[in-house]
């Protein structure tokens, strides 16, 4: 049965690309969409930055038709600012507005934003209610199990957020205290999904790194879809691999070196198209290592790729990689 966020059909078991700071920009999202991602989210955007019209924040509002359905994700600790930010986001015409209640990094959480709001559930509910009232498009939430192991209230919290109007929730199976350490606990995500009072889609997130893992959490916990983050970095093929496995119980062939080079080139071209040649080349530098992770003796090529600002030279280096490492297993 099709999963719906509000009135928007997102498929039978959607795969969501997690919003990741400095990763899930439009060029990266383009590659993931080409390779089977169903729902996209922007990098998280500061509500204060948006209402001050800061370039770093407003640039993250860029969305493209090929990415749809897409959500714009916002964070902040001031209810009024978050309301205004939601109104600004709605004008950019996404399908959803997503509230980040999950970011664990100190500079966000210690100010009471992101996962920091898990220490003040009444404020979390009040803020969500105001954002829902401020916009006419579906509001979704991304959060964690709780602040620490002594505050695992996610079953109750999810229900309260649903009751003030959110249309879907994505839950990372760790507390804020855990950051990204240890193993994600899906049992509580399953409890949220199987709470008879929950009627909105519940998406699970955390340690989703293989088709088998997705099949396991789908069958065991009944989630409506999964959100994939780190496993997609440098490996956008993960979405189609999961879909193929769920349909056939067999594995797609892994991407060849030529596939990786080709994807890397397309990513670079998308980046230049979005930011212009100088910035596009600069912003691509963080991705080269990920595309070629596991190739032995790659260091000399990596250095060439990250130190060059000449597009022709970078393309030549990528062509050399395709020839030099042909047949290498990684």
Which positions are catalytic? Answer: 103
What the block records as the tokens of 229 is 């983050």
Distance from C-alpha of 285 to C-alpha of 267, rounded to nearest angstrom? 11
Q: Alpha-carbon distance 240 to 259, whole Å?
A: 14
> What is the Rg, in whole angstroms, of the alpha carbon atoms belonging to the chain?
20
What percent of the residues of the chain are helix, what percent strand, and what percent coil, each to the nearest 5? 50, 15, 40
Partner residues linked to 58 by β-bridges: none
Do residues 140 and 167 make contact, with C-beta atoms less than 8 angstroms apart? yes
The angle subtended at Cα 145 by Cα 139 and Cα 150, nearest 5°, is 140
Give residue for tokens 């249309």. Answer: 167
Torsion, Cα 57 207 34 257, to 10 degrees, reads: 110
CB contact at 8 A, 64 and 34: no
Question: How is residue 15 annotated by DSSP?
Answer: E
In contact, 99 and 74? CB cutoff 8 Å: yes
CA 81 to chain centre: 23
Q: Please, is 179 exposed, middle or buried when counting C-beta atoms within 10 Å of its C-beta (0-12, 13-18, 19+)?
A: middle
- The angle that helices 299-307 and 311-324 make with each other, rounded to 10 degrees, is 170
């Amino acid at each position: 049965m099709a999963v719906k966020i509000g009135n928007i059909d997102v498929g039978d078991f959607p795969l969501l690309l997690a919003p990741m700071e400095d990763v899930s920009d439009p060029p990266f999202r383009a590659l993931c969409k080409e390779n089977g991602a169903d729902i996209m989210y922007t990098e998280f955007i500061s509500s204060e930055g948006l209402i001050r019209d800061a370039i770093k924040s407003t640039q993250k509002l860029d969305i493209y038709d090929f990415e749809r359905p897409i959500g714009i994700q916002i964070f902040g600790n001031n209810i009024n600012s978050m309301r205004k930010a939601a109104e600004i986001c709605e004008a950019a015409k996404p399908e959803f507005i997503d509230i980040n209640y999950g970011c664990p990094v100190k500079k966000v959480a210690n100010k009471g934003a992101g996962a920091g709001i898990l220490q003040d559930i009444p404020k979390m509910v009040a803020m969500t209610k105001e954002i829902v009232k401020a916009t006419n498009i579906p509001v979704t939430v991304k959060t964690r199990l709780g602040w620490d192991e002594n505050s695992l209230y996610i079953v109750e919290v999810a229900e309260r957020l649903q009751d003030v109007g959110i249309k879907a929730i994505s839950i990372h199976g760790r507390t804020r205290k855990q950051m990204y350490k240890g193993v994600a606990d899906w049992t509580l995500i399953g409890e949220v999904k199987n709470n008879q009072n929950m009627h909105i889609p519940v998406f699970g997130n955390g340690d989703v790194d293989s088709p088998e893992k997705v099949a396991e959490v789908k069958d065991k916990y009944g989630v409506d879809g999964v959100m994939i983050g780190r496993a997609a970095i440098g490996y956008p093929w993960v979405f189609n691999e999961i879909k193929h496995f769920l349909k056939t119980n067999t594995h797609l062939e892994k991407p060849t070196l030529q596939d990786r080079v080709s994807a890397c080139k397309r990513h670079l071209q998308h980046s230049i198209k979005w930011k212009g040649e100088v910035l596009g080349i600069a912003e691509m530098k963080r991705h080269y290592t990920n595309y070629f992770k596991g190739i032995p003796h790659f260091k000399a090529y990596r250095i060439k790729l990250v130190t060059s600002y000449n597009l022709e030279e970078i393309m030549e280096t990528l062509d050399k990689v395709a020839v030099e490492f042909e047949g290498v297993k990684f």
